[in-house]
Amino acid sequence: MANVDFLAPLHTSTRRDYVQRAIEHDKADCAEVAKQWGYDYWDGDRKYGFGGYTYDGRWRSVAERMVEHYGLKAGDRVLDVGCGKAFLLFELMQAVPGLVVAGLDVSQYGIENAKEEVRPQLTIGTACNLPWPDASFDFVFSINTFHNLKNFELAQALAEMRRVGKEHRYICVESYRTEREKANLLFWQLTCETFYRPEEWHWFYEQYGYEGDSEFIYFE
């Protein structure tokens, strides 16, 4: 299992006032709204989530790093578990013409408002039950989704990710290394159910047979 660095440059380019977010709004109320995964989470007020999640090309650099790292080529099949509006899948298709993509997300609103070019390949569902046969994909990845699962759901979700993939896998989750990063994560997050240090995440991966790459997002 290798640690990779696809998302960190994009994540650190955004400035965040962690404490202000926690004191300016009722965090409990905002989290309740966010976990409905509807309009408010994606395109409503920033206190509920993204504050308007529109395509702006920011995911192109992530797609290019993935393509280079995994040697993706035309005809390869790629699955995004927790694809949201599928902007990254769209960028992967642009980076590798002929790539076959699929995405799954729990949010009906996210799927219905996904990138038009990818929308027919998207499915509403959960990471614990992927509706594809064994070894369907050459590359399976998940970004900022597994930390939204409860700890007792991780075994099934990791098993499903292992089952439908046949070669490359990658998971990115929010994590912390210090008490300051843990406090910032708690101040900022709205949907997380599992809060673990990187070594704890690696323990889960090893316990449940996940053998892919990993990345961790920190709130410094």
Judge contact between 160 and 130, C-beta under 8 A.
Answer: yes
Instruction: Render pLDDT for 127-175 as a digit per residue (tens, 0 to 9).
Output: 999 999 999 999 999 999 999 999 999 999 999 999 999 989 999 999 9
Task: Read off the pLDDT of each residue in 104-110 and give the average, rounded to a whole number.
Answer: 98
pLDDT band of residue 85 (cuts 50, 70, 90) is very high
User: What six digits make up the tokens of 129?
Assistant: 């039950």
Domains in the chain with CATH codes: 8-217 (3.40.50.150)
- Tell me the pTM: 0.95
Q: Is the pLDDT of residue 124 over 80?
A: yes
Helices (H), the chain: 8-12, 18-24, 27-34, 39-43, 60-70, 87-95, 108-112, 154-164, 179-188, 198-207
